[in-house]
Structure 1
Amino acid sequence: MALKWGICAAGKISNDFCSALKTLPEAEHEIVAVAARDASRAKEFGEKFGATRFYGSYEEIAKDSGVDIIYIGTIHTMHYPLSIMMLNAGKHVLCEKPMAMNLKQCREVLQLSKDKNLFFKEAVWSRSFPIYEQIRKEIASGSLGDVNLVTAKFCIQIMNKERIKNNTLGGGCLLDIGIYPIQLAAMVFNELPEKIIASSTVNKDGVDEDGAVILRYKGGRMASLVYSGKTHDLEHNRCSIHGTKGSIEIPANFWCPEEAFMPSGRYTNDLPIGPVPYNFVNCGGLRYQADNARKCIQAGKIECEAMSHRDSEILYTIIDEIKSQIGLKYKDDE
C-alpha cells in the first residue's frame, strides 16, 4: 500500500522533494494533499504532482485523515511548531532541516514522537544517500583504520537572499549550510566532541555570514569545518575523512554527492530527474530519505538509523554551543 504524503508549503524545496518523490513507484508513495498559506497556491502546486486535496492552512491538512505522513518544507522558524502540530494530529513527520531552532525545541519534538509512537525524522537528506551509507560501512569495516580527521567546506553565495539576511526568519548561514559539515563530522565520530571552537562574522542584522568550526574529540581526533555564504565555490565543496590506514574523498557537493572515493573503490549515486524541474543541485537524491521513511514506518519504527533521534540531539547540542560562542541568537532562543 502506498504511503500517503501531505506536503506543508509550496516553495522551492517542497517542489524538489515532490519531484524526486515522483521518481519512486506510485504503488509505494502517493502525494495526496498540499497545504500553503494560500489555498490557490496550494492547488496550483499540488496539481503538478497529482494531489487532489488543497488547503489554505496547515491546521486543515493536520485534520486530513487520509494523510499518513507530513513533509514540512516551510521556513526554518515554522519547523518546530508544525512538527508539534502534526505529531499531535497523529501524523508521521519528515521535517526539513533544521528541525528546530535550538536543542530545547529539538528535544520537545523527539519526546513527542516517542510519546505518540509516531515516526519522526529530520530531513538531513545527505544521510540517506547510498554514498553516505557506504561511508558508514567503510568506517565500520576498519578499512580506514582509526579515523582521526574530518575536513569539510561548504561555500555558496546566499547572503543576498532576503530570508538569509533576516534574523527573525531564522536567517544566517549556520542553520542553512553550516549544518551540513557539522552533521558529517557528527556522523563520522558518532559522539559529542570534548571541545568546540567556533569563529564567525555576525553582521549588524544579527545573522552569521560565515564560520570556521573545530570539533575536538577524545583521543586527539578532530573535525575542521568551514562554511561561507559570501563565497561561491560550488564545484569544490568537498570533504575528506582520514584514518590511520586510508581515507574517503568526496570531491564535490559533499552534502548531495554524485561520487566518492574510498579504500574499497569508487561509488556513485543514482540521481534521477523528476517530472518537474529542480531548483537545487542533485535533488533527485531527495527520494532516498522518502523511501527510508516508508521502510521505517512499515517496520513500525519511530526513527531512522541513518538520521536517528540521537543524531539530531548531538547536532543541536553542537549548534547551540556554536551559537553561544559566536553571539548568534534568535527569538526562539530567549
Structure 2
Amino acid sequence: MSFPETLPLPRTRPPMEAPPMRWGILGLGWIAAKFVESVQAQTRQTIAAVGSRSPEAAERFAAAWQVPRAYGSYEALVAADDIDIIYVATPHNLHHEHALLAIAAGKHVLVEKPVALNHAQAAEMVAAAQAKGVFFAEALWTYFLPKFDVIRQVLDAGVIGDILSVYTEYGEYLPREHRIFDATLAGGPLLDLGTYPVSLLAKLLGTPERIVGLATPDPAGVNGQLAVVVSNAHGALGTMATSPYGFSPTNAAIMGSRGTIRFETEFHLPGSFDVWSLDGTRRLRYEEPRGAHFEGLFHEAAEIAWAISEGKRETACRPVEASLSTMRLLDGIRHALGIDFTQAGLVE
C-alpha cells in the first residue's frame, strides 16, 4: 500500500455524551483521587459512593470530592443497590480479592492495572465476570486515549507494515516510602511502571518465544530495576526497561517493514506522535498537548459507560484478552528474571 496523505481521526465518542453510570470507588488512595477528579470534571458520570476499610477515611474522601455516600467496608459498598459499577483501586495484591467481591455482588467492574498478580488470578476474574454476566475491564487508561485509537487504525491499515521491533521503557523517581518498595504489596517496578511498556509489547508482538534480561534487587527486598528483550515466532524483537530510581524519557518506537511510529513525549500519556515512511521522507503528525491523569483518565470512564449502556461485557479499547496477554508476558518476565511475589501472598 502507498503511504497515506493524512492520519485517520480518532473515533472516540464525546465523553460528555456518555450515559451516566453510578460509580462506587473501592480503595481511596492516590489513583482513586486522580480518577474521581478527572471523571467529575469531564464527564456526566456520577461518583455515587466510596468505600474503605476505615469509616473515617471513607468520610474524608467523600467530603473532599462531594461524594454523597461513604461506606466503612468494601462489603457494604459492593452490596449497595444504587451502584452500577465498582472501580477497584486498591493495591495490586488485593485486586483479585476485591474484583471477585464486586463481581459476586453482581456489579460491573473496572479494576486498576495490573489486573492481577499473575495470569491465573486474572483468568479467574474474567471467568467469574463472564459467569455472572457483568462487565469487566482493566483500567489501563492509555489504551482509552484518542491517540491510541488513531494508532490502532494506523496499525490495522498496515501503514507501517509488519512490526519488526518495539523499543519502550518507563522510569520515574519514587521515594522510599512509596508502596513500590513494599514487598508485601507486590512491590518493584514491574507491576507498576512496567505495566505500560509490557502491555505495549504484548499488544504489538503477542506471546513471546523467548525472554532474556537482567534484574537488580533493591535493599528493600523487592526488584529494583530490570531490562528485558523478547522475541516472537516471527523474529520480531521488543525491548523493555523500568526503574523507580529516576525519570527516563518513558518513550517508545514501533518499527515496521514500511514505516515507524515515534512518540514526542511519554508514550502512555496524552501527547503527540509521528508516523514516518520507511525512508523517513514522509511524516504524518498527530498533534495533541502533553497531558497527564487529569487529561486522560476520564476517557476510560466514558468508554466503559458507553459499553455497559450498549449491553457489552468488555471494551474494544482494552479487551479482556489483551489484559490476559499482558499478564502472560508479565509472568514470563518474572519467571525469566527470578522475581516472585510470595511476600504479597501469591502462591504459584
> Structure 1 residue 285: deviation in Å?
0.2
Q: Take 1:160 and 1:250, find their aligned partners in 2: how far apart are those partners?
A: 30
Where structure 1 has 5 or more consecutive residues not aligned to the other structure, the ranges are: 273-280
d(CA) in 1 for partners of 2:269, 2:216:
26
Amino acid at match of 2:40: K
Which residue of 236, 242, 251 maps to 1:238?
251
| One-letter code aligned to 2:188 | G
What is the letter of the counterpart of residue 107 of structure 1? A
Q: Does 1:11 align with 2:29?
A: yes
Residue 75 of structure 1, CA deviation: 1.2
Q: In structure 1, how many angstroms separate the alpha carbons of the residues matched to 2:298 and 2:228? A: 30
Contact 2:86 2:102 in 1 (8 A): yes
**Do residues 44 (structure 1) and 60 (structure 2) align?**
yes
CA 1:120–1:302: 2 relative to 1, 3 Å: same
Report the more deviating stretch, 1-10 or 175-184.
1-10
Residue of structure 2 in register with 1:298 after alignment:
309
SS at match of 1:175: coil
| Corresponding position of 1:122 | 138
Q: Distance between the aligned counterparts of 1:271 and 1:241, measured in 2? A: 20
Q: What is the aligned partner in structure 2 of residue 308 from structure 1?
A: 319
Does residue 227 of structure 1 match 2:245? no
1:284-319, Cα deviation, whole Å (9 max, x unpaired) = 200111111111111111111121111111111111
The answer (yes or no) to whether the contact 1:250–1:257 under 8 Å persists in 2 is: no
Cα displacement (A) at 1:73:
1.1
The answer to whether structure 1 residue 192 and structure 2 residue 193 are counterparts is: no
Aligned-pair distance for 1:53? Answer: 0.8
Identity %: 29
- Is residue 250 of structure 1 aligned with residue 268 of structure 2? no
SS at the partner of 1:134?
helix
CA distance in structure 2 between the aligned counterparts of 1:159 and 1:314, rounded to whole angstroms: 31
**CA shift at 1:113, angstroms?**
0.9
1:139 aligns to what?
Answer: 155
CA drift of 1:25 comes to: 3.5
Amino acid at match of 2:224: E
Asked if residue 259 in structure 1 is aligned to residue 277 in structure 2, the reply is: no
* Residue matched to 1:333: 346
- Quote how far apart the aligned CAs of 1:269 are: 4.7
| Counterpart residue number, 1:74 | 90
- Amino acid aligned to 1:224: T
TM-score by length of 2: 0.88
Matches within 5 A, 1:280-295: 281-295=292-306
Once residues 84 and 129 of structure 2 are traced to their aligned partners in structure 1, the CA distance between those partners, rounded to angstroms, is 14
SS in 2 for 1:240: strand
- Provide the alpha-carbon RMSD of the alignment: 1.7
* TM-score where L is the length of structure 1: 0.91
What amino acid sits opposite 1:237 in the alignment?
T
Deviation at 1:257, TM superposition (A): 3.1
Structure 2 distance, partners of 1:150, 1:212, is 14
Q: Secondary structure at the match of 1:257?
A: coil
Give the 3 Å change call, closer, same or farther, for CA 44–204 of structure 1 in structure 2: closer
* Structure 1 segment 144-163 matched on structure 2, within 5 A: 144-158=160-174, 160-163=176-179
Contact (CA 8 Å) 2:109, 2:135: kept in 1 or not? yes
Count, aligned residues:
321
Shift of 1:50: 3.1
Tell me, yes or no, if structure 1 residue 53 matches structure 2 residue 66: no
Which of 196-205 and 29-38 deviates more? 196-205
